[in-house]
Amino acid sequence: MQSGRASNHRARHHGGPTIQEPPLSTFIAGWNQPGYLPEVEREEFDTFEDARQYLLDTVDRWLDEDWEEPDVDSLTADDVINAFGYGEYKGYNLWVEEIVS
């Protein structure tokens, strides 16, 4: 029979329980036509908020370019991108995805 001291030593030094670091998350944002790979390189961010803001800025640019089209002048980027980081504009899906490493 093993003593408690020997089994504790074995657990600490030979693959016993260890404290794990929390997983690291990064967030990627991009857009694509449904059924196709993204046409542009995805952008990587440290926070969800930064990734969503990137999409909001992108949609703002698109809305500025399309301002003369019907129904576009009343849209805002917040109308297009929801709080979860997903949206659709002119046949493109926009998304934020969390990558855990």
* Residue 7 confidence (pLDDT): 47
Domain range summary for the chain, segments of one domain joined by + = 37-101
Q: Return per-residue pLDDT of the chain as tens, 101 residues.
A: 454 454 445 445 556 566 767 668 999 999 999 999 888 888 999 999 999 999 999 999 988 888 777 677 677 888 888 989 999 988 899 999 999 98
Q: How far apart are CA 16 and CA 83, in angstroms?
A: 42
pLDDT at position 18? 66
- The confidence score (pLDDT) of residue 13 equals 54
Full-model pTM: 0.71
> By three-state DSSP, how is residue 64 classified?
helix
Measure the CA dihedral 50/54/55/60, to 10°. Answer: 130
Distance in angstroms (rounded) separating the CA atoms of residues 30 and 38? 7
Predicted confidence at residue 101, as pLDDT, reads: 83
